Amino acid sequence: MAAKSYPYIPNSVAEVQEEMLRFIGVGSIEDLIADIPEEVRMKEPMELPEPFEDEAGIYRHVSGIMNKNSTAEELRCFLGAGCYNRYVPAVVDEVINRSEFLTAYAGEPYEDHGRFHALFEYQSMMAELLDFDVCNVPNYDGSQACGTALRMATRITKRKEVLIPRNLNPDVLKVVETYLQPDVKITYVNYNDKTGRICLDSLKACLTDKAAAVLVMNPNFFGIIEDKAQEIADMAHKAGALMVAYVEPSTLGVLTPPSRYGADIACGDIQPLGIHMNYGGGVAGFVATSEKPEIIEEYPSRLFGIAPTSEGEWGFGDVLWERTSFANRDSAKEFVGTHSALWGIAAGVYLASMGPQGMKELGEAILQRQVCLKKVLSKIKGVKLDRFSGTSFEEIVVDFSGTGKTVKEINEKLLEKGILGGFDLGKCFPGLEGCSLLCVTEQTTAEDIKAIADALSEIIG
Amino acid sequence: MNGLTRMKKFHQARWNEPIIYELSEPGQRGVLVPGPCCECASKEEILGTLPEHMVRKDLANLPEIAQLQLVRHYNHLSQENLGVDGNIDIGQGTCTMKYSPKVHERLAGSPKMLHMHPLQPANTAQGVLEIMYKTGELFKAISGLDVFSVQPGGGSHGVLALASVVRAYWRDKGEEEKRDEIITTLFSHPADAAVPIVKGYKVTIIQPDSEGYPDIEAFKAALSDRTAAIFFTNPEDTGIFNVRIKEFTKLAHEKGVLCCYDQANANGLLGITRTAEADFDMSFFNLHKTFSAPHGCGGPATGMVAARKELRPYMPVPLVEYCPEKGYYLDFDLPKSCGKIKSFWGVIPVVLKAYSWIMTLGADGLREVSRVAILNNNYCMKKILAIKGASMSFPNHPSRIEQVRYSWEKLKKDTGFGTADVQRCIADFGTHYWSSHEPFVIPEPFTIEPSESYSKKDIDDYCAVLEEISRMCYEEPEAVEHAPSNSTVHHIDHDYFDDPAKYSITWRSYNRKYKGYFEPK
């Protein structure tokens, strides 16, 4: 019998337990689990630290640990590489922290009408941003979305090979490799060493009638716009393959949406649309396509649809439930489960609060800072910005190889001055040793840019 | 007013909320965006850097709405949602709906979590790495296993990680081609079958025997030197603890097979029996279920993977490690790893909430969680079995662990109403009820899991609602047919979800197919 009271366990009170046991007709809780055999029982209690039973104590303990972090808000952040230090409007946090959303799970379209409605709107707004007709309820992250988009392509084309460019985000690539193993073959397409874009000759050499999909990341991992995307799509289509575009959705107020350069499937991560970075936990994936039934049939994800009710209201529910692994465990299209619905609601609130004009201005604000950063850094002796000739959007490749210092050394010195330097490209890309990927967001200020320029001048000497 | 009387008078918010596009008015703005950071270049110059054909010429068709109107819209939608905080959420069996302490939200909502970039140097991320590492240390005691990854983003993703580790293990042993089969059970979670198929495995599903246990003879027949692994949930979705679990793992190990324990249903086992005692090699735990992180309408979540130290080389990269010189750090040096499962390192706010929960309760508290979950469940079971038309699967077992799969088979036979009808009705009482995972091998199934968060009175009230719905089915069939009548919306026409000519997954598609209110164009 519990000797103490637990705020989260109302029936830990001894008298209540006795009353319930009497009703059941047994003498103790132990009697209820008598069938768990001795051989699988724990012989000793779990060896856990002494708990912080009161709320003030646990708050002090955990925040004490977390205070050891230095955040991107406290430092000047020039890190991107798939996770972006965007401003998250307060309305987004307000909505997703409402406990009706936060603590709900899988309620029905009646008592949990709200989440169906909000996620239908999310799908609708994402479709407009991407200029497609269909978007899914979010999956785990952009990496899984990419893996799913490629697997969808294999099912649609009934082919088993996908072409992946080497200028894809290496973190995404690692997850996609795991996700596609063992039955989907990956062929890697080189990037052009001068432009940083996909090498069309390499693509041509790899592309056969075995290919289900050609993947394009746009802007690619080097931050460079794949401006030959339409040609790539045409080549893919000619070979009977689909073109899959991995896009950063917050660029699409300014950049052409993927459907307009021939993409059949768009995928990516919605973190830049109003989701806090959370040490990489604030990620969620999207897949978007046209409305062809043969394509929709291949989504593994939940797809919420709109329907009439008997009283003329907007009702919602699951479209083509039978596709999913919930309905069909051993013949499903991949699988579905608890993914990232709350982040989908967040991105919906973000897109609605930004509106058409806001998304355009966001893109312009980012582009302006990138141009500004490049201008300022170009004045520093030894720093080269022409490693790749392709056009940048929110991230730039900065080549320190002529400075005699490694990116690691430079980043350590920058950190001493309160600056989070860029992603060390040499770690993942042979031939790019000494190159750093620097990122701006709309939160980057002129002071930040001046600070990193001053710091680099001093470090490089 | 007693609970049932009160709940009968319930009416959920019904706002007839428009689709957000219907609220749009030209020129309205919800938030403004910073302008240029300096005057170093004109807008034309900036846009001029882009290739002409890659510049979007139109504005994305997003709604235009001012901030109050936006907040009001979403507040209305949230009011048309219940959540654990709004109802007695015991009707979603297998999902362990429990209270998520508010102090965890305060901690996870701190700037020290929100504004951490995943690629920051480890020396700036010692706090968050320490939480990840120490959560693993706590799970040494909880699971009896040795190495941990918080990377997977949910239970199914945990299964994906396990299946990927299995494949990496057999690759290393040179038997990847030969070992191409996985065995699971019918009352394991559907993901235990669906996910290994994605990883290229043939899956055999063991049917239950007459007592509801996985049929051990069928299991023996399925096991062979082609078996790569077994994926067992225990207790199964019926709430029955597989008492012969060690026989299964023994048989599997004799064939060299890896044993994977789906511990998504672990809420009744804490401090009582563990993965290690049942002789499993790996398992996963849902931090958003047993360990209190909220479900967020379906994620973000964490399916934490635990494994014996012998399997460390095959675990997802990176693992969090500690040494006095470096402090906490991410270890990528696992050349035989199964690879990465998720972008970056996992859903760290969920990990922080689970850590906080375990550190609040300690060993005694966790054991009390399970004891009360078992007590609540068996109390609830006795009440439900007294309801006309209700029965349970495999009634020979005297007690269950943390949940029960019931049946309305008799209700259906007597009244024509089954589990889907009960589901519609219950929305009128301000609560929620799920049926069960498919296929419905138990006729007209429902699965109730009254976790430790619920009081005796909560359970009494919920059972009184079920009893009232049963009465309605027998005595007021018309009311049942028209339900729900006090919910957010009325009866939804399901013809609009399967026909390509009728379904619309976006507002854009709706407007192409229909005008007004579902008038075909």
Residues A363, A329 share a domain = no
Q: Are B394 and B238 in contact (CB under 8 A)?
A: yes
Q: Does residue B42 belong to the interface with chain A, where contact is any CB pair within 8 Å?
A: no
Q: Domain extents for chain B? A: 106-360, 369-487
Tell if the CB–CB gap between A254 and B50 is shorter than 8 Å. yes
Tell if the CB–CB gap between B103 and A58 is shorter than 8 Å. yes
One-letter amino acid of B397: H
Mean pLDDT, residues B109-135? 98
Q: Does residue B445 belong to the interface with chain A, where contact is any CB pair within 8 Å?
A: no
Per CB-CB distance under 8 Å, the chain B contacts of A362 are 33
**Strand B258-262 relative to strand B282-286, pairing:** parallel
pLDDT at A330: 78
- The answer as to whether A106 is a domain residue is yes
- The answer as to whether A4 is a domain residue is no
- The answer as to whether A199 is a domain residue is yes
Q: Does residue B227 belong to the interface with chain A, where contact is any CB pair within 8 Å?
A: no
Strand boundaries in B398-502, DSSP class E: 404-407, 445-448
Band (B162; pLDDT cuts 50, 70, 90): very high
Eight-state DSSP code of residue B391:
E
Q: Is B191 left (phi over 0), alpha (psi -120 to 50) or beta?
A: alpha
Q: Which of B288, B424, B508 sits opposite A110 (nearest CB)?
A: B424
In this structure, what token pair is assigned to residue B237? 């979705």
CATH superfamily of B369-487: Aspartate Aminotransferase, domain 1 (3.90.1150.10)
How far away is chain A from the Cα of B415, in angstroms, using its nearest Cα?
Answer: 23
Tell if the CB–CB gap between B484 and A110 is shorter than 8 Å. yes
Per CB-CB distance under 8 Å, the chain B contacts of A177 are 339-340
Residues A217, A188 share a domain = yes
**Strand B147-149 relative to strand B202-206, pairing:** unpaired
Band (B493; pLDDT cuts 50, 70, 90): very high
- Determine the residue of chain A that is closest to B23 in CA distance: A352
Residue ranges of B 243-262 with Cβ closer than 8 A to chain A: 243, 245-246
Q: What are phi and psi of B194, to 5 degrees?
A: -65, -40
Q: What is the mean pLDDT of chain B?
A: 96
Residue ranges of A 386-415 with Cβ closer than 8 A to chain B: 391-393, 411-412, 415
If we measure between CA atoms, which residue out of A159, A202, A204, A215 comes closest to residue A184?
Answer: A159
Q: In whole angstroms, what is the distance from residue A421 CA to residue A413 CA?
A: 9
Per CB-CB distance under 8 Å, the chain A contacts of B60 are 128-129, 131, 252-253, 257, 356, 359-360
Mutate to test the interface with A, among B11, B24, B37 (most CBs of A within 10 A): B37
pLDDT at B435: 87
Q: Which of B97, B277, B399 sits opposite A32 (nearest CB)?
A: B399
Residues A141, A16 share a domain = no
- The answer as to whether A315 is a domain residue is yes
CATH of the domain at A113: 3.40.640.10
Q: What is the separation, in whole angstroms, between the first and last Cα of chain B?
A: 51
Q: In whole angstroms, what is the distance from residue A143 CA to residue A129 CA?
A: 20
Q: What is the 3-state secondary structure (H, E, C) of B104-158?
A: HHHHHCCHHHHCCCCCCCHHHCHHHHHHHHHHHHHHHHHHCCCEEECCCCCHHHH
Write down the H helix ranges in B53-94. Answer: 67-79
Residues A54, A102 share a domain = no
What is the ipTM score, two decimals?
Answer: 0.97
Q: Above pLDDT 70, what percent of chain B?
A: 100
In this structure, what token pair is assigned to residue B280? 């499993």
Mutate to test the interface with A, among B94, B97, B232, B297 (most CBs of A within 10 A): B297
Q: Are B328 and B345 in contact (CB under 8 A)?
A: no
How far away is chain A from the Cα of B211, in angstroms, using its nearest Cα?
Answer: 13
Q: In whole angstroms, what is the distance from residue B234 CA to residue B185 CA?
A: 10
Residue-range definition of the domain harbouring residue A146 = 90-351
User: What is the count of structural domains for chain A?
Assistant: 3
Per CB-CB distance under 8 Å, the chain A contacts of B80 are 112-114, 117
Residue ranges of A 280-309 with Cβ closer than 8 A to chain B: 280-284, 291, 293, 296, 302-309
Q: Which residues contact B85 (CB under 8 A, 6 or more apart)?
A: A99, A100, A102, A103
Per CB-CB distance under 8 Å, the chain B contacts of A5 are none
Q: Which of B288, B363, B427 sits opposite A108 (nearest CB)?
A: B427
DSSP three-state, residue B404: strand
One-letter amino acid of B283: S
Q: Does residue B149 belong to the interface with chain A, where contact is any CB pair within 8 Å?
A: no
Strand boundaries in B192-254, DSSP class E: 202-206, 227-233
Query: Does residue B470 have a pLDDT over 80?
Result: yes
Q: In whole angstroms, what is the distance from residue A57 CA to residue A34 CA?
A: 36
Query: A351, A384, A417 — which closes off a domain?
Result: A351
Per CB-CB distance under 8 Å, the chain A contacts of B149 are none
Residues A385, A252 share a domain = no
Task: Show contacts of B367-370: CB within 8 Å, 24+ apart.
Answer: B367/A45, B367/A46, B367/B270, B367/B271, B367/B272, B368/A2, B368/A6, B368/A9, B368/A12, B368/B452, B369/A9, B369/B267, B369/B270, B369/B452, B370/B267, B370/B268, B370/B269, B370/B270, B370/B271, B370/B272, B370/B402, B370/B452
- The answer as to whether A366 is a domain residue is yes
Residue ranges of A 94-153 with Cβ closer than 8 A to chain B: 94-115, 117-121, 123-125, 127-129, 131, 133-135, 137-138, 140-144, 151
Query: A351, A371, A403 — which closes off a domain?
Result: A351
The number of beta carbons lying within 10 Å of the beta carbon of residue A218 is 26
Query: A334, A351, A368 — which closes off a domain?
Result: A351
Residues A394, A344 share a domain = no
Tell if the CB–CB gap between B154 and A337 is shorter than 8 Å. yes
Maximum pairwise Cα distance, chain B: 79
Mean pLDDT, residues B402-428? 96
Lateral strand order in the sheet of B391-392 = B391-392, B404-407, B445-448
Per CB-CB distance under 8 Å, the chain B contacts of A129 are 60, 62
E strand or H helix at B303, and its extent? strand B303-307
Residue reference for tokens 């790019």: A432
Q: Which whole-number Å values give the CA distances from A194 to A199, A210, A422, B254, in the listed order?
A: 10, 29, 21, 57
Per CB-CB distance under 8 Å, the chain B contacts of A170 are none
E strand or H helix at B220, and its extent? helix B216-222
- The answer as to whether A104 is a domain residue is yes
Residues A167, A294 share a domain = yes
Q: What is the 3-state secondary structure (H, E, C) of chain A?
A: CCCCCECCEHHHCHHHHHHHHHHHCCCCHHHHCCCCCHHHECCCCCCCCCCCCCHHHHHHHHHHHHCCCCCCCCCEECCCCCCCCCCCCHHHHHHHCCHHHHCCCCCCCCCCHHHHHHHHHHHHHHHHHHCCCEECCCECCHHHHHHHHHHHHHHHHCCCEEEEECCCCHHHHHHHHHHHCCCCEEEEECECCCCCCECHHHHHHHCCCCEEEEEEEECCCCCECCCCHHHHHHHHHHCCCEEEEEECHHHCCCECCHHHHCCCEEEEECCCCCCCCHHHCCCCEEEEECCCHHHHCCCCCCCEEEEEECCCCEEEEECCHHHCCCCCCCCCCCCCCCCCHHHHHHHHHHHHHHHHHHHHHHHHHHHHHHHHHHHHHCCCCCCECCCCCCCECCEEEEECHHHCCCHHHHHHHHHHCCEECCEEHHHCCCCCCCEEEEECCCCCCHHHHHHHHHHHHHHHC
Q: Does residue B59 belong to the interface with chain A, where contact is any CB pair within 8 Å?
A: yes
Per CB-CB distance under 8 Å, the chain A contacts of B167 are 181-182
How far away is chain A from the Cα of B363, in angstroms, using its nearest Cα?
Answer: 6
Residues A255, A302 share a domain = yes
Per CB-CB distance under 8 Å, the chain B contacts of A252 are 56, 60
Tell if the CB–CB gap between A291 and B509 is shorter than 8 Å. yes
Q: In whole angstroms, what is the distance from residue A289 CA to residue B512 CA?
A: 16
The number of beta carbons lying within 10 Å of the beta carbon of residue A5 is 11
Mean pLDDT, residues B282-288? 96
Q: What is the pLDDT along chain A (461 residues), one digit of tens a residue?
A: 446 789 999 999 999 999 999 999 999 999 999 999 999 999 999 999 999 999 999 999 999 999 999 999 999 999 999 999 999 999 999 999 999 999 999 989 999 999 999 999 999 999 999 999 999 999 999 999 999 999 999 999 999 999 999 999 999 999 999 999 999 999 999 999 999 999 999 999 999 999 999 999 999 999 999 999 999 999 999 999 999 999 999 999 999 999 999 999 999 999 999 999 999 999 999 999 999 999 999 999 999 999 999 999 999 999 999 888 888 877 788 889 899 999 999 999 999 999 999 999 999 999 999 999 999 999 999 999 999 999 999 999 999 999 999 999 999 999 999 999 999 999 999 999 999 999 999 999 999 999 999 999 999 98
Q: Which of A31, A72, A320 sits opposite B115 (nearest CB)?
A: A72
Q: In whole angstroms, what is the distance from residue A225 CA to residue A452 CA?
A: 25
Mutate to test the interface with A, among B84, B116, B151 (most CBs of A within 10 A): B116
Mean pLDDT, residues B104-115? 98
Residue ranges of B 381-440 with Cβ closer than 8 A to chain A: 382, 397-399, 401, 423-424, 426-427, 430-434, 437-438
- Determine the residue of chain A that is closest to B440 in CA distance: A327
Band (B237; pLDDT cuts 50, 70, 90): confident
- The answer as to whether A41 is a domain residue is yes
Q: In whole angstroms, what is the distance from residue A155 CA to residue A75 CA?
A: 46
Residue ranges of B 320-359 with Cβ closer than 8 A to chain A: 338-350, 352, 355-356, 358-359
Q: Are B412 and B444 in contact (CB under 8 A)?
A: yes
pLDDT at A3: 61
- Determine the residue of chain B that is closest to A181 in CA distance: B199
Sign of CA dihedral A104, A108, A110, A113: positive
Residue ranges of B 104-123 with Cβ closer than 8 A to chain A: 105-107, 109-121, 123
CATH of the domain at A431: 3.90.1150.10
Tell if the CB–CB gap between A144 and B342 is shorter than 8 Å. yes
Q: Which of B195, B295, B345 sits opposite A105 (nearest CB)?
A: B295
Q: Which of B138, B492, B506 sits opposite A127 (nearest CB)?
A: B506
Tell me whether the omega of the peptide bond preceding residue B294 falls within 30 degrees of 0, making it cis: no
- Determine the residue of chain A that is closest to B73 in CA distance: A118
Written out in words, the top-level CATH class of the domain with range B106-360 is: alpha beta
Tell if the CB–CB gap between B67 and A353 is shorter than 8 Å. yes
- The answer as to whether A220 is a domain residue is yes
Q: Does residue B203 belong to the interface with chain A, where contact is any CB pair within 8 Å?
A: yes
Q: How far is CA A154 from the centre of its chain?
A: 22
Residues A254, A196 share a domain = yes
Q: How far is CA A27 from the centre of its chain?
A: 52
pLDDT at A1: 43
Report the predicted TM-score, pTM, of the whole model to 2 decimal places.
0.97
